[in-house]
Structure 1
Amino acid sequence: MYLIQIFLPMYGNRGEKFPASYYREVRDRLVDQYGGITAYTRSPAQGMWQPEEGKTVQDDLVIYEVMVEELDRTWWDACKTSLEQQFQQEAVIIRAQAIYLL
């Protein structure tokens, strides 16, 4: 089994907040495809990275998680491309971890 985590920015590159409908669309797509979702939306997570030395960039993030039996790379690659276009990002982070339910 895999835990898939999707990190979505709350703000665009010019500081504009993305509409709530963007997140509903993603949520609904994941629920339709995988039957459930966990959403971390109450307190945004904060991501920080350094694209170049001496410069730090910060994002407020919404994190969605789904658990899947098998990893469908084709579906996730298409989902990633779609999210990058919708959220106008060079890259949206989607990561998969092998997990065991206890």
Structure 2
Amino acid sequence: MHLIQLLLPLFDNDGHPFPQTIYLQVRDELAEHFGGITTYVRSPAEGLWKEGKTSTVRDEIVIYEVMAKELDRSWWKEFRERLELLFRQESLVVRASHIDIL
């Protein structure tokens, strides 16, 4: 079993919030495709990373999770690329972990 996490930004690169309809669209598509979804949206997570040696970038994100028996890398690559366009990002983090259901 695989746990796939999507880290989605709350704001565009100019600091404007994305409309809620975008998150609902992504949520509904994932729920339909995988049969369920978990969303972490109440308390946004904070991401920090370095750009260059002196600049630190801060981002508020929400996390969407789905579980899948098989990891279809080509489907996820296409989906991530669509999300990057939708959220106007150079890259978005979509990560997968192998998990055991206990």
TM range (shorter): over 0.9
Q: Secondary structure of the residue that 2:24 maps to in structure 1?
A: helix
Aligned to 1:96: 96
1:16-95 equivalences under 5 Å are 16-95=16-95
**CA deviation after TM superposition for structure 1 residue 85, in Å:** 0.1
Deviations 1:43-91 (A, max 9, x none): 0000000011111000000100001000001110010000000000000
Residue 6 of structure 1 corresponds to which residue in structure 2?
A: 6
Q: Secondary structure at the match of 1:65?
A: strand
- Which aligned segments of 4 or more residues in structure 1 are displaced greater than 4 angstroms? none
Counterpart code for 2:39:
A
Aligned mates of 1:52, 1:88 — CA distance in 2: 21
Q: How many residues align?
A: 102
Q: TM-score, normalised by structure 2?
A: 0.99
Structure 2, unmatched stretches of 5+, are none
In the alignment, structure 1 segments of 5+ residues that lack a partner are: none
SS in 1 for 2:63: strand
Percent of pairs with identical residues: 49
Cα distance in 2 for residues equivalent to 1:29 and 1:94: 15
Give RMSD over aligned pairs: 0.4
TM-score (norm: length of structure 1): 0.99
